[in-house]
Structure 1
């Protein structure tokens, strides 16, 4: 049997030096991000999700010294972007920027969804949360929520409300309103938000559920009137606007944006992103821009966001079932 001579002193010393250096070398090689990160945004340029996404990742890129390149991939209620990220390598260099539809789609599409929301897309950070709103056209006769409820009861099935798609949070907000108020207002679907806004401001459709950032420009230009917001507390950029829950207890719906990573992404990479994004939303310049939009932020950890997603999935599943919302 061959024998091996014991290593000499010099060899042992060299091995010890390399051993001590190894962790530092590994840390240097593993520093994240070491190159540009691809951010797949599920929504079109110029919308609320896109504006907030670019504010956050622009600031994050400056903070971390690497580019976070936003790639808009809208379509199919966010499923095109989500599918692309679900199939991406889980290395931290591809992330998804998605919104409320993310939590609706599991119950809306069911087995037809080309990925598993919970298994394939891991929550990283809740980027923004803002209440939905109910707007009316300037000439609409109902000036308050109680007046609207009374009018809808007097004219069942004769009032219309716009949204940009079946199963959207705007559609779900309308169905919740119908349920809690005991009325039937028709859901009118538009392919594009611009067309819906044009018909709202011109009076061709009297009502539309929206969100705070989309509501502000219309109310500030006197093109539409906000009847109520759908959050639990006053909204600073909508002074004097009541909460829907004042008239319909329990009414609460949110538009939210979040960041997700493909399955397999290292936990330490996800934690780096979460920590740095929490720092970004404390930056005074970022706070000022988001507050002006009506986009609310709050500190949140990965587990916090995961719990929020579960709550939202459960809420929308119940609404889809109760309102019998279907995608043909």
Structure 2
């Protein structure tokens, strides 16, 4: 942050001048580096690579995906926060390194709001609420009633302490007055096994994980999107199940270092919004559990602040300690 403040106006002048050239305000000076703060192979990495492939020709350059996994995405966030604000290094942003990271008290080498320039709100992905087959519940209202009246807390799984699947369930726990207790896992696979065996009663998990678990023995009772998700159109939302305004998303956005000039931000937003609309990307979105968003940087920034406020309120009574 201090380094950013010390940048001189003289140093920014050539950058601003370059930003006036090229179609629609800016042309990249060589390959653009898209930092994906996760290991290769996951749904976020796949989305990032699809977007890089589709947006590169629109920008007239190559977009190189750089996987910077570690510390829940914080290493990738730090890479971009410390990069020059010239449009050549951008972040596939998620809550893991921005809003949830700060909400749970993780020590960050950057400020997730002030050290980045929001470019574009790319997409949303709901999570699904699952019930163990042994519970014999037909739908989400039945599961909620069971959890509300349980004489002993029902164990629920998450994919780790302080993850979105943990915080989403804690939010539902308070809002629907559920008698449940947290059992963290290191990933979805082991949690799935214990859910099917009845050792875990319920859990939230990403829609892609549900879509990949064909033949698994559990009940998908709800999703957390405002509207039903196309790939699971027969599954109602939690709002339909009677939890007013309950919505949660594993969102993805695009961010640049703080101080990136407006013409560069506008050009990147234009290119990636167009990339989301290509057949290459659209044909894969349902399988990735993703719905396109496309809101501009101002709307994305407002969402970030709201998301940070929400998860800070949810996490505060949990006293999470990770560092």
TM-score (structure 1 length as normaliser): 0.83
SS for the counterpart of 2:157 is strand
Residues 204 and 35 of structure 1, relative CA distance in 2, 3 Å threshold: farther
Root-mean-square deviation (CA), in Å?
A: 2.5
One of 52, 56, 60 as aligned partner of 1:57: 52
Q: Residues 127 and 257 of structure 1 are in contact (CA less than 8 Å); yes or no, is this contact kept in structure 2?
A: yes
SS for the counterpart of 1:150 is helix
1 CA distance for matches of 2:174 and 2:216? 30
Shift of 1:261: 0.7
SS for the counterpart of 1:118 is coil
One of 192, 217, 227 as aligned partner of 2:212: 217
Q: Residues 119 and 263 of structure 1 are in contact (CA less than 8 Å); yes or no, is this contact kept in structure 2?
A: yes
Q: Residues 37 and 75 of structure 2 are in contact (CA less than 8 Å); yes or no, is this contact kept in structure 1?
A: yes
SS for the counterpart of 2:318 is coil
Aligned to 2:187: 192
Shift of 1:148: 1.9
Q: Residues 176 and 251 of structure 1 are in contact (CA less than 8 Å); yes or no, is this contact kept in structure 2?
A: no
Q: Structure 1: any 5+ residue segments left out of the alignment? A: 1-22
Residues 32 and 217 of structure 1, relative CA distance in 2, 3 Å threshold: same
Shift of 1:31: 5.2
2 CA distance for matches of 1:50 and 1:56? 10
Shift of 1:293: 2.8
* Number of equivalent positions: 302
Matched, 1:268 2:263: yes
Matched, 1:176 2:166: no
SS for the counterpart of 1:293 is coil
One of 141, 148, 152 as aligned partner of 1:146: 141
Q: Residues 48 and 214 of structure 1 are in contact (CA less than 8 Å); yes or no, is this contact kept in structure 2?
A: no
Residues 320 and 283 of structure 1, relative CA distance in 2, 3 Å threshold: same
Aligned to 1:84: 79
Structure number, greater radius of gyration: 1
Q: Render the CA deviation track for 1:255-288: whole Å, top value 9, x for unaligned.
A: 1011111123222111111011111112133212
Q: Structure 2: any 5+ residue segments left out of the alignment? A: 1-16
Matched, 1:282 2:284: no
Q: Residues 163 and 189 of structure 1 are in contact (CA less than 8 Å); yes or no, is this contact kept in structure 2?
A: yes
Shift of 1:82: 0.9
Aligned to 1:127: 122
TM-score (structure 2 length as normaliser): 0.84
Matched, 1:103 2:99: yes
Q: Residues 164 and 193 of structure 1 are in contact (CA less than 8 Å); yes or no, is this contact kept in structure 2?
A: yes
SS for the counterpart of 1:244 is coil
Shift of 1:228: 0.3
1 CA distance for matches of 2:162 and 2:78? 19
